């Protein structure tokens, strides 16, 4: 599959920085977006508010078909290339699932349409079996999973926990002070699932007031991996890494514990290294670490999950109001998502051969295409509870990055099931 990933990074140096409105709204966001939920209690979802959003010439997905693998050398169906087809079967769980963060509980929050729930991912040339929670737990008896990354990783594990809770008791056994890293146990099968908060996968200092009006820059060590996950790396049987979106934020970069540059730091006399260079260095370090390890389980690197802000960004009126999936080529992927995806592809291709030689099972979990077609699956204004109950014309900031639960992200688990069962 990796041979199909070969391509060059299309760099775009014309960054359009839309900061005027964002400065005003960042302060508002820090007040509005605090959420309290059962197992995911104090975690705020302000992570979807990239600071700043960097835009450039959009990329047409259809014009880059060579970037997505079609079929491997054995002629097997590629489960990552397909279409969303109507599927009039109820989701595997509903809005009552206690693991859903309030901001992603679109039905509970009053989203009036429900068509987005009735689609399934259909690879071209084969069928994808629906996730079977009982079979999954039997296969995963005495096993452990870790989802390492940002709030999209939390979005994903919530989906998995909701599905598994329909067939087994899920016990919350650990959380850190901010409920960012957590762990659950299904006693009947001694199965554990953890989410590890590591938005950069590298060592970083993230100020508490990161979403405030005058928030200081993030401090990011490009050459040191985050010990939040490295210290437990060999204890997990299955790991899903992901990152990317946080690299668009203003940050000061360190190498060898010395400042080496920054990304968008106009008040400092530092070299602009660019978020693409920073992300490449960190991804390379992560996959090199994996490829040179002695890990005996299965490791996935999940590719970037595109957002779908249309008509602007989150801070200047961008919305996601579609009701059904789009067709391939109908929407364009923005510069940020395209750049992140390119970097992931190149670095994973380079590391895969070395991992294979070492006996390390490193795989690409490429949700990019299937997610890029689901502009209908985001909370939008229904990130908030009943946002139009008092004023049908109320101006509400939309979330077009995270996913409604139930929703399209559930299909990611269908893909994982297929990989586990059939390799």
Known catalytic residues are: 151, 399, 402
CA 72 vs. chain centroid, Å, equals 25
Q: Which tokens hold the place of 375?
A: 């502009």
The pairs formed by 203-210 with CB atoms below 8 angstroms and a separation of 24 or more are 203/227, 209/30, 210/46, 210/51, 210/249
Contact between 305 and 399 (Cβ < 8 Å) = no
Nearest C-alpha neighbor of 26 from the set 51, 54, 53: 51
Query: What's the CA gap between 85 and 408, in Å, rounded?
Result: 12
Q: Helix-strand-coil percent breakdown of the chain, rounded to 5? A: 30, 20, 50
Query: What's the CA gap between 417 and 120, in Å, rounded?
Result: 14
Nearest C-alpha neighbor of 338 from the set 313, 363, 369, 299: 369
Half-sphere exposure of 270 (CA within 13 A, CB side): 20
Query: What's the CA gap between 22 and 314, in Å, rounded?
Result: 9
Chain position carrying tokens 């993030």: 218
Contact between 91 and 117 (Cβ < 8 Å) = yes
Query: What's the CA gap between 67 and 78, in Å, rounded?
Result: 13
Longest dimension (CA), the chain: 61
Strands (E), 7-110: 16-17, 54-55, 59-60, 82-86
CA 195 vs. chain centroid, Å, equals 12
Q: List Cβ neighbours of 27 (8 Å cut-off, separation of 6 or more).
A: 212, 213
């Amino acid at each position: 599959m990796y041979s199909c990933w070969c391509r060059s990074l299309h760099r775009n140096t014309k960054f359009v920085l839309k900061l005027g409105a964002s400065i005003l709204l960042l302060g508002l966001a820090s007040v509005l977006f605090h959420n309290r939920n059962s197992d995911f209690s104090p975690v705020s979802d302000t992570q979807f508010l990239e600071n700043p959003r960097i835009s450039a010439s959009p990329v047409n997905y259809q014009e880059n078909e060579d970037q997505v693998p079609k079929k491997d050398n054995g002629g097997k169906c590629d489960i990552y290339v397909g279409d969303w087809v109507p599927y009039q079967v109820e989701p595997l769980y509903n809005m009552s699932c206690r693991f859903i963060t309030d901001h992603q509980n679109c039905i509970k929050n009053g989203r009036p349409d429900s068509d987005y729930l009735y689609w399934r991912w259909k690879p071209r040339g084969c069928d994808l079996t629906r996730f079977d929670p009982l079979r999954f737990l039997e296969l995963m008896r005495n096993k452990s999973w870790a989802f390492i990354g940002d709030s999209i990783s939390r979005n994903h594990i919530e989906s998995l926990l909701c599905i598994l809770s329909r067939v087994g008791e899920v016990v919350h056994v650990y959380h850190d002070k901010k409920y960012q890293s957590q762990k659950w146990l299904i006693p009947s099968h001694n199965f554990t699932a953890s989410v590890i908060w590591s938005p950069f996968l590298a060592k970083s200092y993230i100020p508490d007031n990161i979403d405030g009006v005058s928030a200081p820059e993030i401090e990011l060590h490009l050459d040191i991996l985050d010990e939040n996950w490295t210290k437990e790396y060999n204890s997990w049987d299955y790991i899903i890494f992901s990152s990317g979106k946080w690299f668009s934020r203003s940050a000061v970069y360190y190498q060898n514990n010395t400042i080496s540059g920054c990304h968008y730091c106009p008040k400092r006399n530092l070299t602009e290294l660019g978020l693409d260079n920073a992300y490449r260095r960190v991804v390379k370090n992560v996959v090199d670490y994996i490829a040179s390890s002695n890990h005996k389980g299965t490791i996935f690197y999940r590719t970037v999950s595109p957002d779908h802000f249309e008509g602007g960004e989150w801070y200047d009126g961008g919305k996601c109001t579609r009701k059904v999936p789009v067709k391939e080529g109908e929407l364009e992927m923005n510069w940020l998502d395209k750049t992140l995806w390119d970097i992931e592809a190149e670095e994973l291709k380079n590391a895969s051969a070395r991992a294979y030689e070492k006996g390390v099972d490193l795989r690409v979990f490429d949700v990019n295409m299937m997610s890029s077609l689901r502009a209908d699956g985001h909370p939008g204004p229904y990130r908030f509870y009943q946002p139009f109950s008092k004023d049908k014309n109320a101006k509400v900031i939309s979330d077009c990055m995270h996913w409604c639960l139930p929703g399209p992200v559930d299909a990611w688990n269908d893909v994982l099931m297929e990989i586990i069962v059939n390799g």
